[in-house]
Chains A and B, each alone.
Chain A
Amino acid sequence: MNIHEYQAKEIFRKYGIPIPPGDVATTAEEAEAIARKYATTVVVKAQVHAGGRGKAGGVKLAKTPAEAREVAAKILQLTIKGLPVQRVLVTPAADIASEAYVGIIVDRASKKPVFMASPAGGIDIEEVAAKTPDKILRHPIDPRYGLRAYEAMQLAFFLYSDIKQVRAAAKILQQLYTAFSENGGSLAEINPLVTTPTGDVVALDAKMVIDDNELERRPDIAALRDESAEDPSEVEARQASLTFIKLDGNVGCVVNGAGLAMATMDLVKYYGGEPANFLDIGGSSNPEKVVAALRIITREPHVRAILFNIFGGITRTDDVANGIVSAIAENPLKIPLVIRLTGTNEEIAVKILEKNGMSAMTDMDEAVKKAVALATGGKAA
């Protein structure tokens, strides 16, 4: 789960990381009032779940409250990587002497959290990583001990030479690791970590991604989810316990299991169609899930045919058949439907479908070919 910069900053502050103050505004007027309160030059920053917002014009300086109002109005109208900006963070501008990068991710190769630190922080960190990898120090952490003091010092010496700044940064790194580990992070990042002309070390930005599997046991973190910042059909899918990703093709796909869902999409493409979505109805699927899946998919006007590909293991194919029948009773389909069912309770499922004037196929390739032919009017396949 993504959280906003201002939310990540609230978490980091709790762990003692020095972060300048700031307030969130949803209108230009609120942004102006906040700027007046701080009575200094402010930065207005888009709060949106997309990287590269600075380059997209989502971060601007404002010298006066009137200017803050003006830039906030502009930023609140932006759409960055398909996501509309609905909130801005207004924060006093800092004087910057240097910019560094520090971050933690869980690395699948070493099976450990890995710290990354670079003295060359800022908006071009990806380029630094690609072109001058020696400017990034990677350090795996044993999660049973956390980031030990000497490890934090090693990393901090890579960033700074002034011992006061090294000690300050080492403390921040340990605080960042604790925030990451105690809140179920899969990523935590400060970019930039700056030094000021007076020598202080301060976090000017904060980013955190939470492992979805942590949300059940951390209701306070789960409550940080901002559904207005996500794609509406993906929100609806999640509420129905489906995994859904919208694409632009003509064949809507309803599948159980992520691997089979991807393989089904690949086969649609192989036979000349284009998948309209990724949709995984998961393991133990009840009929309501199928109803929700059909509602979400049929909303897209570019979908010309719908393909069910269900291999019943834990999933009972009769549950899926019942779901299809009740979804269509509720909301008759205007486009053709191809159903492939095999596995657990297949015979019952086929009877349910036949009683309701539908049929099921057992072969995946044949079903995909048929769906593609229906979606393209027989032009492909």
Chain B
Amino acid sequence: MSIFIDKNTRLLIQGITGRDGSFHAKQMMEYGTQVVAGVTPGKGGQRFENQVPIFNTVAQAVKETGANATVIYVPPPFAADAIMEAADAGIPFIVAITEGVPVLDMTRVYPFVKERGARLLGPNCPGLISPGASNVGIIPGRICTPGPVGLVSRSGTLTYEVVYQLTRAGIGQTTCVGIGGDPINGTNFIDCLAAFERDSATTAVVMIGEIGGTDEQEAARFIKDKMKKPVVGFIAGQTAPPGRRMGHAGAIISGSAGTAAEKMQAFQENGVGVAKRPIDVVDLLKRAMRQER
């Protein structure tokens, strides 16, 4: 089992003929993801790699193929529209990889998607993978292995680092989810933690946070109040100077709000294991999973 995607996920790729879209489409197909359709306006009727049918619009693609999830690689100026097109076509799960979507666009997209009952992951995220079943996005499949741990992260390459260390230590994963680092994103830590709590195959969860905002603090309270499964956390940015921007628009500290120290303390106070280094996640998980049994 897993969260959000599994072997029955029928994936549509928006921007399948673009540079990033075509590269990752092949990767996902090689991994075994069921890629059922692509959308590139003007290329309807063609096939991607002589295999996947391409449509002009998302509505057509959904009607013809029954796609129930989509992943978006279109350039930033068109990403907001692509997300709304997918939601309007009734796709219940939308993953936006695109980096650089204007935040004011997202203030309009978020309520639009919500009203249509769809779940958005991202934008500016690496997507998600349920090892052995389905890979949607850009996470390298070979660093993952099936197993009992759920992982949720705000970061991209740092997610890979932690997954790689888990896999090397023989700890497999149910699903690894990258929620993205933008100030406004569709799915937050709590959404993923709640899904992992419900997922019968997940026995423990890792969450990787960053400086900026208060999402990790709220997640820590949620873990204490609503979760029975053990959670281990890591926060990047312990050495970040206050008030400086660290690449992600979300990773901004103003005053004391959102420092690594504050977030680690919130973890501690709410019974979340605190990893000082990424590698410490492995030992903390092993200990937590032993106690669980």
Contact = CB atoms under 8 A, between A and B. Distances in A.
A359 interface: no
A333 to B, nearest CB: 24
A257 B155 contact: yes
Interface in B134-187: 138-140, 143, 153-161, 164, 181, 183-184
Interface string A314-345: 11000000000000000000000000001110
Contacts of B248: 258-259
B104 A214 contact: yes
A245 B248 CA distance: 13
A184 B104 contact: yes
A283 B181 contact: no
Contacts of B244: 245, 278
Given A216-B77, A259-B159, A259-B208, A266 B237 contact: yes
A247 B236 contact: no
B277 A214 contact: no
Contacts of B192: none
A111 to B, nearest CB: 5
A108 B213 contact: yes
A314 B140 CA distance: 9
B252 to A, nearest CB: 10
B245 interface: yes
B246 interface: yes
A259 B184 contact: no
Interface string A235-262: 0000000010101000000011111111
Contacts of B111: 111, 142, 144
Given A216-B76, A266-B236, A313-B139, A259 B104 contact: no
A296 interface: no
Given A213-B101, A266-B237, A108 B183 contact: yes
B209 to A, nearest CB: 9
Interface residues of A, number: 52
Interface string B235-252: 011111100111111110
A54 to B, nearest CB: 18
Nearest to A247: B241
A313 B176 CA distance: 15
A364 interface: yes
B214 A109 contact: yes
Contacts of A269: 238-239
A265 B240 contact: yes
B211 interface: yes
A290 B248 CA distance: 20
B107 interface: yes
Sorting the interface of chain B by its residue count into under 10, 10 to 19, 20 to 34 or 35 or more gives: 35 or more
A106 B237 contact: no
B157 A260 contact: yes
B155 A270 contact: no
Contacts, number: 154
A308 interface: no
Interface string B62-78: 00000000000000110
A278 B236 CA distance: 12
B158 A365 contact: no
Contact of A262 (B76, B138, B160, B237): B237
A353 interface: no
Interface string A203-224: 0000000011110110000000
Interface in A4-19: none
A82 to B, nearest CB: 12
A101 interface: no
B108 interface: yes
Nearest to B184: A111
B286 interface: no
A186 interface: yes
Nearest to A140: B107
A92 interface: no
Given A111-B184, A261-B247, A266-B237, A343 B103 contact: no
B164 to A, nearest CB: 7
A213 B250 CA distance: 13
B210 interface: yes
Contacts of B234: 263
Contacts of B241: 245, 247
A269 B161 CA distance: 18
Interface in A260-279: 260-263, 265-270, 275, 278
B279 A213 contact: no
Given A213-B76, A266-B239, A245 B104 contact: no
12 contacts: A106-B107, A111-B184, A143-B104, A185-B104, A214-B104, A256-B157, A258-B246, A258-B251, A259-B248, A314-B138, A343-B143, A365-B279
Given A247-B241, A258-B210, 20 more contacts: A106-B103, A108-B215, A111-B106, A143-B104, A185-B104, A186-B249, A213-B102, A245-B244, A245-B245, A259-B158, A259-B159, A260-B236, A262-B239, A262-B240, A266-B237, A266-B239, A267-B278, A278-B240, A311-B157, A313-B156
Interface of A: 106, 108-109, 111-113, 142-144, 181, 184-186, 211-214, 216-217, 243, 245, 247, 255-263, 265-270, 275, 278, 280, 283-284, 311-315, 342-344, 364-365
Interface of B: 20, 76-77, 99-104, 106-108, 110-111, 126, 138-140, 143, 153-161, 164, 181, 183-184, 208, 210-211, 213-215, 234, 236-241, 244-251, 260, 276-279
